[in-house]
Amino acid sequence: MSATPNEADRPDIKRDVPMAIHAQISEHIRSRIAMGEWPAHYRLKSEPELAQELGVSRGTVRRALATLIEEGLLRQVRGRGTFVTSTTIEPAIAQKLTTLSEDFAHQGVVTSTDVLRCSLIEPPRPVAALLDIVPGVTVLELVRLRRTDEGPVALLYNYVRTDVTPGIERVDFTGASLFGVLEGTYGLKIATARRTFSAEAAAKDVADALELTPGAPVQYLQQVTYLADDRPVEYSDVWIHSGRLHVTSLLSRR
Closest residue by Cα to residue 56 from 26, 83, 22:
22
Indicate whether 205 belongs to any domain. yes
Gap between the Cα atoms of 84 and 29, Å rounded? 10
Please tell me whether the overall predicted TM-score, pTM, comes out greater than 0.75 for this model.
no
Indicate whether 247 belongs to any domain. no
Give the per-residue pLDDT at 198: 87
Q: Which residues contact 206 (CB under 8 A, 6 or more apart)?
A: 155, 212, 218, 239
Gap between the Cα atoms of 197 and 251, Å rounded? 16
User: Which position has the higher pLDDT, 244 or 155?
Assistant: 155
Q: Which residues contact 105 (CB under 8 A, 6 or more apart)?
A: none
Residues 41, 114 within the same domain: no
Flag the least confident range among 7-16, 47-56, 68-77, 193-202. Answer: 7-16
Domain final residue, candidates 84, 111, 136: 84
Indicate whether 230 belongs to any domain. yes
Domain count for the chain: 2
Fill in the amino acid letter for 76. Q
Flag the least confident range among 33-37, 116-120, 142-146, 227-231. Answer: 33-37
pLDDT of 220 higher than 50: yes
**Residue 188 Cα distances to 69, 180, 246, angstroms:** 33, 10, 30
pLDDT of 6 higher than 50: no
Taken in order 112, 116, 121, 125, the sign of the CA dihedral is negative
User: Which position has the higher pLDDT, 243 or 164?
Assistant: 164
Helix axes 58-71, 47-54, angle to 10 degrees: 120
Gap between the Cα atoms of 33 and 83, Å rounded? 11
Gap between the Cα atoms of 190 and 232, Å rounded? 9
Residues in the chain: 254
Residues 29/10, Cβ–Cβ less than 8 Å: no
User: Which position has the higher pLDDT, 175 or 8?
Assistant: 175
Read off the CATH number of the domain in which 160 is found: 3.40.1410.10
Residue 127's domain comprises 100-240
Residues 227, 118 within the same domain: yes
Residues 186, 115 within the same domain: yes
Residues 166, 212 within the same domain: yes
With cut-offs at 50, 70 and 90, classify the pLDDT of residue 7.
Answer: very low
Read off the CATH number of the domain in which 23 is found: 1.10.10.10
Give the per-residue pLDDT at 178: 94
Give the per-residue pLDDT at 13: 81
With cut-offs at 50, 70 and 90, classify the pLDDT of residue 134.
Answer: confident
